[in-house]
């Protein structure tokens, strides 16, 4: 595994539609492993292959749901690795939330996203998976899948601003 460089605007790879992956090969698994290491080192909660300069449809997401009740121990984060992810169902409800991005460092924006979604794709082993996500996890998946379409959060944001360091640290960046 290796940490890869995260590309930032105005790198043109961030604006390209990523290519579909024909099969999950050893090369793709290496890309996934490198992306996980890069995401954790950043640190972030998600990363799309275009963010490391690779225009293929691969994303990684790692997120820990908050405890259900105050005083409960923190839940361990869950890692998702998806090849050719696709949103197949969206709840009608949308919510606004503040997002940041490792490829647009220093900026935050308020973005409206679907409250819950269902995603399908292939896992690291090349097997089909279906994931139902709600809340912040759904927001992360939508943000990462947008990267595969060449769309950045700043394109969807109603307002974008330069974040202060503490504010940026409090927002889980992808």
Q: Which of the residues are catalytic?
A: 144
SS3 69: coil
CB 133 within 8 A of CB 117: yes
CB 143 within 8 A of CB 133: no
Residue spans of beta strands (DSSP E) within the chain? 46-48, 58-63, 78-90, 94-100, 107-114, 116-122, 128-134, 159-162
CA distances from residue 55 to 18, 20, 52, 71 in whole angstroms, order as listed: 5, 9, 9, 43
Q: Measured between alpha carbons, how far is 123 from 142 in angstroms, rounded to an integer? A: 17
């Amino acid at each position: 595994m290796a940490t890869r460089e995260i590309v930032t605007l105005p790198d043109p790879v961030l604006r390209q539609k990523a290519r579909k992956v024909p099969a999950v090969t050893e090369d793709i698994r290496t890309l996934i492993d490198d992306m996980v290491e890069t995401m954790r080192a950043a640190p972030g909660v998600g990363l799309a292959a275009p963010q490391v300069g690779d225009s293929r449809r691969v994303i990684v997401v790692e997120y820990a749901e908050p405890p259900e009740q105050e005083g409960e121990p923190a839940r361990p984060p869950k890692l998702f690795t998806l090849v050719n992810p696709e949103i197949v169902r969206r709840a009608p409800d949308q919510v606004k939330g503040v997002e940041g991005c490792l490829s647009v460092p220093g900026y935050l924006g308020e973005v409206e996203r679907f409250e819950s979604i269902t995603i399908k794709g292939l896992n690291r082993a090349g097997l089909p998976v279906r994931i139902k996500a709600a809340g912040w996890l759904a927001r992360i998946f939508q943000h990462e899948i947008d990267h595969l379409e060449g769309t950045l959060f700043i394109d969807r944001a109603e307002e974008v601003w330069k974040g202060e360091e503490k504010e940026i640290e409090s927002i889980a960046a992808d």
